[in-house]
């Protein structure tokens, strides 16, 4: 095996950033004779952690905090809000609104952490698939929150207006789409973190978690449909008896 020294800055070479992540390529053969490599690859290494005695760098801690907050926002609070809207328990609307607002505030706080950490990394903002997709998702979440606050009112004892029915169809459908989209964004973030720091990927565990929560939402949807059907059937029976 041959090893050589490499300076951080050399003319005509890609600069190795000692304060953030740098991609290194590697390869090895089967002997010291000139031949084709039997394995090769690349790995992003954060050199700012060197000499830290095994402790996490501030940058890595910040990215971990960013991921945890996003998971709480889109992987916990938002699914709880969706489930509440389907089960329609007592005061469900208040719980639904609170959960969604908390999710949005937590996500915004997480984005602020990401922006500050990117500045500390001296990296470009929104320069990557995860960053771009995450930004698009937060913009869509903003529209979802605004749309929720703009819900057309319905007075008790009166039928829903056409405007209200259209609003419910759009708001509910976009909520389900957001749930699926959020899972993809979180998966992208887990992969980015694992690639950046070489840690064990938590993607399999996350997929199991999302599958479990999706199953809960599906069961809640089935319960909601059956409950609505039964309520409508009871109303029809009452009207028939009155006639």
Res. 232: pLDDT tops 70 = no
136 vs 153, more confident: 136
Band of pLDDT at residue 231, cut at 50, 70 and 90: low
Res. 33: pLDDT tops 70 = yes
Least trusted range by pLDDT, from 18-27, 65-74, 129-138, 215-224: 18-27
Band of pLDDT at residue 192, cut at 50, 70 and 90: confident
21 vs 2, more confident: 21
> What residues have CB less than 8 Å from 134, skipping those under 6 apart?
70, 111, 185, 188, 189
Residue 103's pLDDT is 96
Residue 72's pLDDT is 96
Give the residue-averaged pLDDT of 164-176.
92
Band of pLDDT at residue 174, cut at 50, 70 and 90: very high
Residue 136's pLDDT is 93
Residue 18's pLDDT is 65
Give the residue-averaged pLDDT of 67-90.
92
DSSP 16-71: P-TTSEEEEEEEE-SSSSS---SEEEEEEEEGGGTTSTTPPPHHHHHHHHHHHHHI
3 vs 111, more confident: 111
List, for residues 89-113, the tens digit of each pLDDT value: 888 899 999 999 999 999 999 999 9
123 vs 182, more confident: 182
Alpha-carbon span 235 to 243, nearest angstrom: 12
128 vs 57, more confident: 128
Domains of the chain: 8-55 (no CATH), 58-242 (1.20.120.1770)
pLDDT mean across residues, the chain: 83
Give the residue-averaged pLDDT of 68-73.
96
Task: Give CB contacts under 8 A, 24+ apart, made by 172-179.
Answer: 172/85, 174/140, 174/144, 174/147, 175/82, 175/85, 175/144, 176/82, 178/78, 178/137, 178/140, 178/141, 178/144, 179/78, 179/79, 179/82, 179/214, 179/217
Percent over 70 (pLDDT), the chain: 84
């Amino acid at each position: 095996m041959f090893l050589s020294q490499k300076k951080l800055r050399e003319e005509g070479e890609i600069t190795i950033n000692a304060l953030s992540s740098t991609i290194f390529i590697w390869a090895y053969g089967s002997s010291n004779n000139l031949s084709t490599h039997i394995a090769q690859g690349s790995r992003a290494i954060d050199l700012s952690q060197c000499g830290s005695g095994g402790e996490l760098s501030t940058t890595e801690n910040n990215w971990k905090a960013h991921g945890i907050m996003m998971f709480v926002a889109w992987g916990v609070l938002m699914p709880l809000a969706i489930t509440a809207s389907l089960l329609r328990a007592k005061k469900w609307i208040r719980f639904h609104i609170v959960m969604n607002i908390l999710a949005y505030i937590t996500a915004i706080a997480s984005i602020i952490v990401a922006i500050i950490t990117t500045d500390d990394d001296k990296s470009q903002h929104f320069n990557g698939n995860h960053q771009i997709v995450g930004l698009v998702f937060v913009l869509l979440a903003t529209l979802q929150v605004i749309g929720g606050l703009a819900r057309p009112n319905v007075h008790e004892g009166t039928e829903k207006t056409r405007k209200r029915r259209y609003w419910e169809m759009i708001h509910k459908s976009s909520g389900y789409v957001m749930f699926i989209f959020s899972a993809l964004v979180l998966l992208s973030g887990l992969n980015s973190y694992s690639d950046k720091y070489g840690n064990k990927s938590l993607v399999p565990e996350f997929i199991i978690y999302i599958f479990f929560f999706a199953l809960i939402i599906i069961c809640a949807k089935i319960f909601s449909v059956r409950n609505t059907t039964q309520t409508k059937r009871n109303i029809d029976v009452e009207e028939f008896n009155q006639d």
